[in-house]
Structure 1
Amino acid sequence: MKISLIDQQANRVLQNEVICKIRDLINTRNLERGDKLPSERMMSEKFMVKRNHVREAIRKLEFYGMLKSVSQSGTILAIGLTGFNGMVDEIVSMDAPAFKELVETRISLELEMVGLAAARRSTADLEKIKNALEAFKVKMARGEDYLEEDLLFHLAIAKASKNSTMVSLMLLLTPPILSTYERETVCEGDEAKSEIKKHEDVYLAIKSGDSEQATEMMKKHFFKLSEYLKSRD
């Protein structure tokens, strides 16, 4: 099932348009590194778009390190104009990642994260992972859609890794995976008891502090998904 795929594409197009308008504004004013941009309100009025669209575009440029929000000061240009223009061209020309690419990245990331989570998790982290696991188990046992609970379980593991960059990447990957997840195909034949056990095994390995075991359990958890990706080559 694909969730709001048309709406997501429309939002991406609009976001790119706002990014280009921000670029044009920066060039028109010949701003340099460290110079302040106009306020979100002013750009919203100038571009004739909603303020939240400007904010989303700024956040994306901040993610790539091109802009920076400074407390009580506003948004500044974080890199030189030449580099900024070149990076904007690359960002707006990027195709939306395919489901296969997103999941390949997620699997690689999570195999690293789960080992770190086993080594670094706190008691509070374990409690959050356990709570997410229990919510997943309830949905799975009832035969209800459990995809969001499953991803929240994995996000809890990401936070337990104590690596903020990895958490940011997971947060970046999660929405497009949710919107393009081909559940009927990928999850065909899943049995509740088996799927619950795979999640429990990952949790128990993290709880025991065994990084190697945690990684191995995550590999088993992703085995079916990995085989599905191979079948699409």
Structure 2
Amino acid sequence: MTAGSKVYVRILEHIETMIMQGNLEAGDRLPSERELAERLQVGRSSVREAFRALELLDLIETRKGEGTFLRQAGSHRLAEILAGFFLKDAKARQDLAETRRILEVEAVKLGCERAEPEELDELQKLVYSSIEMSQEGYFIDEDIQFHKSLVALSKNRLLLNIWRPLVEYSREALKQSLSREGRTVHAWEEHREILDAVREKDSSRAADALNRHLSNSRF
């Protein structure tokens, strides 16, 4: 990745972070070229380049005299597009998977201490409904929801907010991983094993089961 493209990606990543943190929603006005350039210490030409790319992808629109606004679909598609930049690079994929593993393993340990019985009941319903969804080709959404719920058991909102974009970046790669023959059934069994350990408040077994699951799900 060249120096110029790194600046470009930094700008896109900053906008995506604003979306993930709830500071930018569909219909909202984006910071101006000057504001972004000053905030990120980059040239205005780099900001213009990033804006042009987002406009071509129909993620933003420029209204004369008003500014630049996030389109309805923009908040959902930006993470997917950013993944195209990050996941082409093997080291970036490794860093992303490693960071996700660290967050989830610590979250599941906290979940063993903090999870409420009704939360675990809901998670069990999700686990058992997901095997049916896998037969209809929807397991990727169920898989991500399981991991999101698992992280949420930690009761640490910051941890969950950091986790979200990591998984959105890797959605397409995860989809490919789950498309391997027999992988969805194995993933379902691994989810069940993780949940059983959390129910028993066995943080060591839960962490081990989650580590195995993430290793088997590598992309």
TM class, shorter-chain normalised? Answer: 0.5 to 0.7
Question: In the alignment, what sits opposite 1:170?
Answer: 163
1:199 Cα offset (Å): 0.9
Residue among 118, 122, 131 paired with 2:116: 122
Task: Spell out the pairing of 1:3-82 with structure 2 (5 A cutoff).
Answer: 12=12, 15=15, 18-19=30-31, 21=33, 23=35, 46-50=65-69
CA distance in 2, matches of 1:169, 1:14: 13
Q: What's the TM-score, normalizing by structure 1?
A: 0.56
Q: Deviations over 1:202-232 (max 9, x none)?
A: 0100111111111011012122234x5xxxx
Q: Distance in 2 between matches of 1:215 and 1:131?
A: 21
Counterparts of 2:38 and 2:106, CA distance in 1: 39
Alignment of 1:209 onto 2:201: yes
Answer yes or no: is the 8 Å Cα contact 2:96–2:166 preserved in 1. yes
Q: Judge conservation of contact 1:128–1:156 (CA < 8 Å) in 2.
A: no
Report if aligned partners of 2:174, 2:217 keep a CA contact under 8 Å in 1.
Answer: no
Q: Deviations over 1:140-169 (max 9, x none)?
A: 3x2523111101001001111111111111
For 2:154 and 2:13, the matched residues in 1 are separated by 34
Evaluate the alpha carbon distance shift between residue 45 and residue 170 of structure 1 in structure 2; reply closer, same or farther with a 3 A threshold.
farther
Q: CA shift at 1:191, angstroms?
A: 4.3
> Aligned pair count?
162
Q: Secondary structure in 1 aligned to 2:128?
A: helix
Whether the aligned pair in 2 keeps the contact of 1:202 and 1:217 (CA below 8 Å) is yes
Please state whether the residue corresponding to 2:180 is helix, strand or coil.
Answer: coil
Cα distance in 1 for partners of 2:14, 2:38 equals 19
1:104 equivalenced with 2:98 (yes/no): yes
| Distance in 2 separating the partners of 1:143 and 1:24 | 43
Equivalent in the alignment of 1:75: none
Q: Which has the larger radius of gyration?
A: 1
User: Secondary structure in 2 aligned to 1:131?
Assistant: helix
Q: CA deviation at 1:107?
A: 1.6
Contact 1:198 1:217 in 2 (8 A): yes
CA contact (8 A) 2:32 2:67 kept: no
Q: Secondary structure at the match of 1:220?
A: helix
Kept after mapping to 1: 8 A contact 2:30/2:70: no
Contact 1:18–1:47 (CA<8 Å) still a contact in 2?
Answer: no
Q: How has the CA–CA distance of structure 1 residues 172 and 110 changed in structure 2, closer, same or farther, with 3 Å as cutoff?
A: same
Matches within 5 A, 1:158-197: 158-178=151-171, 180-181=172-173, 183-184=175-176, 187-197=179-189
Equivalent residue letter for 1:114: V
> Which residue identity is paired with 1:23?
E
Mapped partners of 1:157, 1:182: distance in 2: 17
Give 5+ residue unaligned stretches, structure 2: 1-8, 17-28, 40-62, 76-83
- Deviating beyond 6 angstroms after TM superposition, the runs of 4 or more aligned structure 1 residues are 24-27
Q: Is the 8 A contact 1:205 1:213 kept in 2?
A: yes
**Identity across the alignment (%):** 16
- Deviation (angstroms), 1:201: 0.3
Which deviates the most, 189-198 or 163-172?
A: 189-198
- The answer for the alignment partner of 1:155 in structure 2 is 148
Question: TM (normalized to structure 2)?
Answer: 0.60
C-alpha separation between the residues in 1 aligned to 2:208 and 2:163? Answer: 20
Matched letter for residue 107 of structure 1: R
3-state SS of paired residue (1:113): helix
Give the Cα–Cα distance (whole angstroms) in 2 for the partners of residues 116 and 24 of structure 1.
Answer: 37
CA drift at 1:25: 9.8
